[in-house]
């Protein structure tokens, strides 16, 4: 976004906890999972390090894990006083209500919203637009970006820019935009994808996928025109601290919350 004079609005950093059966895991290009720790302990660590927001993403779909998710959300939110978004397998207003009751401030919808876009407005009507994030997983196809469903496995006929616009018109409060091509590669965000979607909508866009260094965040907030940026691997591995990213942003004149 353009930077007005006297701008103090912080560029927002979000840590993502991909959770399976109560544990944080991380994969490469949406596959090849490995254990990365206890969700509540990691959440508390990122909070202490100055992360601005947390996302808990449930990456499995079994009934047992679904029950574990609400326990994980309760545990994560118990001692953390920053915004918490929860996504993964949210198929109904009731699913959304369950994680919000467990302590989530926002819910992310993805595959189910592609199948039935009215889900976005139904959750927004019940909990407000600020509680609805539409998560878009996009894959490059020439100079276009194809939306994929089912954790990136299934290509849809939708284009990321068009779907983001529709999500906004249906009441989404934010877009969480993940580049499937960049995810887990540590080679940087897809700034072209992020800018295309960010320019097309009036709601905040969270860029995700590919963060490997502090400079990558500077790029996505400038060239990519992101409103927020999300990462998992580099924060989990300690490759790059939250503070190091914020220091880099500040050096480039971008406001951050310290």
Partner 1 sequence: MIALVDYGAGNLASVRKALRACGADVFEPAGPADLDCASAIVLPGVGHFAATASLDERWRAAIRQRLEGGIPFLGICLGMQWLFEGSDEATAVPGLGWLPGRITRLPDRAPGGGRLKVPHAGWNAVRATGPSGVPGLKDGAYFYFTHAYAAPVTDATAATTVYGVPFASAVRRGHVRGVQFHPEKSGAEGLALLGAFVGGGR
- CA distances (Å), 68 to each of 43, 47, 107, 190, 226, in order? 17, 22, 16, 33, 32
- Does 49 engage in binding with partner 1 (CB under 8 A)? no
Name residues contacting partner 1, limited to 56-85 (CB under 8 A).
77-78, 81-83
Question: Tokens at residue 4, please?
Answer: 């007005």
Of residues 153 through 212, those in contact with partner 1 by CB under 8 A are 173-174, 202-205
Query: Shortest gap between Cβ of 46 and partner 1 (angstroms)?
Result: 11
Residue placing its CB nearer to partner 1 in the complex, 8 or 34: 8
Query: Quick one: tokens of 131?
Result: 């509680």
Let me know: does 98 contact 69? Beta carbons within 8 Å: no
Instruction: Kindly tell me which of 60 and 222 has the beta carbon lying closer to partner 1.
Output: 222
Work out how close the CB of 37 gets to partner 1 at its nearest, in angstroms, rounded to a whole number.
21
Q: Which stretch binds partner 1 (CB under 8 A): 99-107, 148-156, 185-193, 209-217?
A: 99-107
Would you name the residues annotated as active-site residues? 18, 137
Nearer to partner 1, 180 or 254 (CB): 254
Query: E strands along 38-150, which residues?
Result: 53-58, 84-87, 106-109, 132-141, 144-149
Helix-helix angle 160-169:191-200, to 10 degrees: 30
* Cα dihedral 224→228→232→238 (10° resolution): 90
**Residues near partner 1 (CB under 8 A):** 1-10, 12, 47, 52, 77-78, 81-83, 101, 103, 105, 127-131, 173-174, 202-205, 227-228, 255, 257-258
């Amino acid at each position: 976004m353009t930077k007005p004079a006297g701008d103090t609005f912080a560029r927002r950093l979000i840590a993502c906890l991909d959770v399976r059966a109560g544990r944080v895991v991380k994969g490469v290009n949406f596959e090849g999972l490995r254990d990365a720790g206890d969700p509540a302990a990691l959440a508390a660590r990122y909070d202490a390090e100055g992360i601005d927001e947390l996302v808990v993403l449930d990456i499995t779909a079994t009934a047992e894990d679904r029950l574990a998710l609400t326990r994980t959300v309760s545990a994560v939110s118990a001692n953390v006083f920053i915004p918490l978004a929860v996504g993964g397998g949210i198929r109904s207003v009731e699913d959304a209500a369950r994680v919000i009751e467990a302590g989530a401030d926002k819910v992310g919808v993805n595959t189910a919203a592609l199948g039935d876009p009215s889900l976005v407005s139904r959750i927004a009507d019940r909990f407000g637009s600020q509680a609805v994030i539409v998560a878009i997983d996009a894959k490059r196809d020439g100079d276009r970006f194809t939306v994929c469903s089912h954790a990136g496995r299934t290509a849809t006929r939708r284009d990321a820019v068009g779907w983001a616009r529709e999500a906004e018109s249906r009441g989404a409060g934010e877009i969480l935009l993940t580049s499937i091509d960049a995810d887990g590669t540590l080679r940087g965000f897809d700034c072209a994808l992020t800018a295309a979607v960010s320019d097309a909508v009036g709601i905040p866009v969270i860029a995700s996928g590919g963060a490997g260094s502090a400079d990558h965040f500077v790029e996505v907030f400038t060239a990519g025109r992101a409103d927020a940026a999300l990462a998992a691997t580099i924060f989990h591995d300690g490759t790059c601290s939250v503070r190091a990213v914020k220091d880099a942003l500040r050096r480039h004149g971008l406001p951050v919350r310290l």
